[in-house]
Amino acid sequence: MSDWLAQQVITIMSSMGYLGIGLLMFLENLFPPIPSELIMPLAGFTVAQGKMEFLPAVAAGVIGTVLGAYPWYFLGKLVSEPRLRAWADRYGKWLTVSGRDIDRANNWFTRHGGMAVFLCRLVPAVRTLISLPAGINAMPLLPFTLYSTVGTTLWVGLLTFLGYKLGENYELVDEWLGPVSKVVVLGLMLGFGIWIFKRRQSFKRKHRKS
């Protein structure tokens, strides 16, 4: 994380207080140039300095995060399952994705969506992305908000606590979790690539037999 970016976080948080925490966490979910792994530990350090209170800082982070999840959720609802299925049937052959695959994915999300939203809120790099399939699958807003809030509270509370304990070394949290985020993203990309490769090989074998 660049010193300039970290300084902007400090400036916003110093001038706007709890509102600044909420704003930063809201923006982090829309377009994450500033990770929560930096924002909330800094808030924890500010608490350790006696300039803020722990619970209000956590609450501000949770509210900002949940509000930031809604745009992706409603974007997913706008896309909708029928539109995504139609797109997959028309263009998905390039990725070996069909409408049937979309149906299977949505059936899985219908069964495990609540737990998926909760758990993904605890995983760097995919915490925001889970809002999109929740919207596409038309997960009811209340359960989505509930699972998002519980998972987010655990995540934000942990980051704030670590920042509180580490004090001036709060940036170590970002240094520790930053590589985890990269590993998660690379793992997802690799897994998706392997899945596409296997689907293409299976598709070729079926055509050879026919």
Provide the token pair at 9.
């976080």
pLDDT digits (tens, 9 = 90+) for 43-64: 888 888 888 899 999 999 999 9
Summarize the confidence of residues 100-114 as an average pLDDT: 66
φ, ψ for residue 96, nearest 5 deg? 55, 40
Contact 29, 68 (CB under 8 A): yes
Contact (Cβ atoms closer than 8 angstroms) between residue 18 and residue 60 = yes
What is the tens place of the pLDDT at every residue in 119-153? 888 777 677 778 888 888 888 999 999 999 999 99
27, two tokens: 């923006």
Joined tokens for residue 206: 């079926």
pLDDT in tens, 154-199: 999 999 998 888 876 666 666 655 655 555 556 555 654 554 455 5
- pLDDT of 74 > 80? The answer is yes
